[in-house]
Amino acid sequence: MIKRLTVIVLTGVLLMLGLGACTGTNDEYKQVKVDGLRLEILGKGKVNVEGIGVEWDPYLLSAANTQNNNLPQEMRATQADLDFVFSRAKAMGLQKIRIMLQPAWIEPLNDDGDPFNIDPDGFSWENDCAQTFLKILDFCEENNIKVNVVTWCANTENGYFMGLPSGQWCSAPKDLDEYVENIVYSTGYLIEEKGYTCVTDITPFNEPNWAFLDDTQYVDLNRFVELCVKLDTALKGAGLRDKVRLNYSDANSYQDSLWMIDKLKGIAEIYNTHCYDYYSTAKNEIFSDYAKLLVDASAKHGAIHVISEFGLRTTVGSHQASDIDTYSRGLTIGRMTIAMMNQGIASMMYWCLFDQYYDLGPQRMEVGLWKYKDFGWEPRPQYYSFSLLTKYTEAGSEIYPIESEDEDIVAIAFKNTDNSWTYAVVNSSDEEKGFSFTNSNLKNLTMKKYVFSESTLPTDGKMIQSSGSASMKDFVLADVIAPQSMIVYSSKA
């Protein structure tokens, strides 16, 4: 991608602070002398924020965490632990979550022999994971958090009516009609019977580009496309299609995602990709180019693109990462989010919210924003960086993209729905850098300043607090950013 001349941020009328537009000319601020990069706002991007958030799977109160013999009694999860997770998620200001729902949790045996007829008596929500799932949705409903429900075929003991191997993790369904029936039932139950308005979109399968295998064990994505078409048709037949958006394709390969976007044109409102392609050494331009490919492909079909899972290329198996506790990972998570949203990605969803046991035997998922109970739910560096972006923006915020001629500086601006503004800038170099934000509409403004740096990480588990303020005087906010650090400026309460 060829980058244009440096630009970075600015701001508009902050009604919340009672500041009106300045009567000065648009050229007046250009006469102000500043040191370092002069960074100016370009204009509003093509998409608003869909929701910055996380994957949050409903396993905490499952037998894997409450009755796990590998854990001493005091380390087993309780309702109080889930309440703690709720409180921390609320403090973060999560805007959207992605959450697993397995068919066998609610339909352990086939409801009847007809995949085109739903017998409600054949379904139940008493499974421990299903119960936790509903508790999380209650929390999201109360806190105005959007939810993307993602169906997985996993560890089914009695799901033979869908052709699912017993005990095999995340196998593709053999009977697509029965599988679609299950999704249609759960969608209707959640939206119509339970009345959840937080359930905004559904995804029929996690990472189909490795699970949809044919009889010769090669991936057959045409079969996944068939599933997507069947689901669209069935939701229309059930009168649900206009009540929920479809979110495809969920591939963990951008090449497969691009192929499926082309095949599924006209079906989905949202397309998504999982990104675990890069190390902390990747340049900002790499993130930008990756995002632009996906955004442009989706826009051709009138859809937005989101990154529904992301992390780094340091995973060990499916559930750990070699750099999980490092500061560099935290900084990279922040700049990936900024760089990709600059190109029109509408949502970034980190995988995952916190460590917990899945149905993986004695090993647990250890890629969360914070650790498990036996580590006192200790936050990792990426919790602090990512939380600055979830807390000081919101779903519906307007995105003001920024491009920079300095390859080590990435920045972005958001205008929130209450007319407050948030700007974020990351310096991934080993040098201190001076810069200035300029805005021809506001002569004077004070914003709170939040700094993510290795030497100032909190130790109490609380979010980063304001380290003071930065003042815009005569249309210019000038500052210095330390090496390997991130700053967020915000007038949002």
The 10s digit of each residue's pLDDT in 160-206 is 566 655 445 667 888 899 999 999 999 999 999 999 999 999 999 99
Query: Which carries the bigger pLDDT value, residue 157 or residue 10?
Result: 157
- The predicted pLDDT at position 12 comes to 34
Q: Which two tokens stand for residue 181?
A: 């029936």
Q: Is residue 3 part of a domain?
A: no
340 plus 441 within the same structural domain: no
Mean pLDDT on 81-94 = 98
Higher pLDDT pick, 283 / 216: 283
Regarding whether 430 and 389 lie in a shared domain, the answer is no
Query: Domain check: are 271 and 365 in the same one?
Result: yes
Question: What's the rounded mean pLDDT across residues 443-453?
Answer: 90
Distance (Å, whole) CA 448 – CA 471: 9
3-class DSSP assignment, residue 73: helix
- Domain membership of residue 341 (yes or no) is yes
Q: Kindly tell me if the per-residue pLDDT of 155 is higher than 80.
A: no
Q: What is the pLDDT of residue 14?
A: 28
- Is 1 a residue whose pLDDT tops 50? no
425 vs 159, higher pLDDT: 425
Closest CA to 341 of 426, 242, 414, 248: 414
| Same-domain status, 205 and 231 | yes
Q: Which of 379, 396, 413 is the last residue of a domain?
A: 396
Q: Using one digit for the tens of pLDDT, what is the confidence trace for 92-135?
A: 999 999 999 999 899 988 999 899 999 999 999 999 999 999 99
Tell whether 28 and 101 lie within a shared domain. no
Q: Is residue 218 part of a domain?
A: yes
Q: Is there a domain that residue 141 lies in?
A: yes
464: which residues sit within 8 A by CB, 6+ positions away? 384, 387, 388, 450, 451, 452, 458
pLDDT band at 151 (very low <50, low <70, confident <90, very high): very high
Please indicate, yes or no, whether residues 361 and 429 belong to a single structural domain of this protein: no
Q: 343 with 407, same domain?
A: no
Q: What is the pLDDT of residue 11?
A: 33
Q: Is the pLDDT of residue 215 over 50?
A: yes
CB within 8 Å of 339: residues ≥ 6 apart: 284, 287, 288, 291, 410
How much helix, strand and coil, in percent to the nearest 5, is found in the chain? 30, 20, 45
Across 13-27, 127-141, 313-327, 351-365, least confident range = 13-27
Instruction: Supply the mean pLDDT for the chain.
Output: 89
Same domain, 68 and 28: no
Query: Is the pLDDT assigned to residue 48 strictly greater than 90?
Result: yes
From 332, 367, 396, the end of a domain falls on: 396
> What is the distance between the alpha carbons of residues 316 and 452, in angstroms, rounded to a whole number?
27
Structure tokens at 354: 């916190």
Q: Which helix (H) or strand (E) holds 66?
A: helix 63-66
What integer pLDDT is reported at residue 440 of this predicted model? 66
What is the rounded distance in angstroms from the CA atom of residue 442 to the CA atom of residue 475? 6
Does residue 5 have a pLDDT over 50? no
Amino acid in the structure at residue 316 = V
Contact assessment for residue 268 and residue 245, using Cβ atoms and an 8 Å cutoff: yes
Between residues 68 and 20, which one has the greater pLDDT? 68
pLDDT attached to residue 316 = 92
Is residue 370 domain-shared with residue 450, that is, in the same domain?
A: no
Residues 175 and 256 in one domain: yes
Phi-psi group of 128: left, alpha or beta (phi > 0 → left; psi -120 to 50 → alpha; rest → beta): alpha
Per-position DSSP letters for 412-457, written without gaps between them? EEEE-TTS-EEEEEEE-SSS-EEEEEE-TT-SEEEEEEEEE-GGG-
Q: Which residues span the domain enclosing 309?
A: 53-396
Strand order in the sheet with 433-438: 37-40, 433-438, 476-481, 469-473, 444-452, 485-490, 421-427, 409-415, 398-400
Tokens of 144: 């105005």
Residue 359, pLDDT score: 78
User: Average pLDDT, stretch 433-462?
Assistant: 86
Whole-prediction pTM: 0.92
Statement to judge: residues 28 and 72 lie in one domain = no
Q: Look up residue 104 and give its two tokens.
A: 């066998």
Whether 40 is covered by a domain: the verdict is yes
Question: Is 357 a domain residue?
Answer: yes
Q: Which residue, of 344, 363, 396, is where some domain finishes?
A: 396
Q: What is the pLDDT of residue 403?
A: 80
Confidence of residue 7 (pLDDT cuts 50, 70, 90): very low
Number of domains the chain contains = 2
Q: Residue 370 falls within a domain, yes or no?
A: yes
Instruction: CATH number of the domain at 339, please.
Output: 3.20.20.80
pLDDT band at 136 (very low <50, low <70, confident <90, very high): very high
In this structure, the strands spanning 485-490 and 444-452 are antiparallel
pLDDT of residue 17: 29
| Domain CATH code at residue 455 | 2.60.40.1180
Contacts of 21 (CB under 8 A, 6+ apart): 13, 441, 442
Is residue 5 assigned to a domain?
Answer: no
**Residues 445, 488: Cα–Cα separation, whole Å:** 15
pLDDT at 88 over 50: yes
Kindly state whether residues 442 and 383 are assigned to the same domain: no
Q: What is the DSSP letter of 286?
A: H
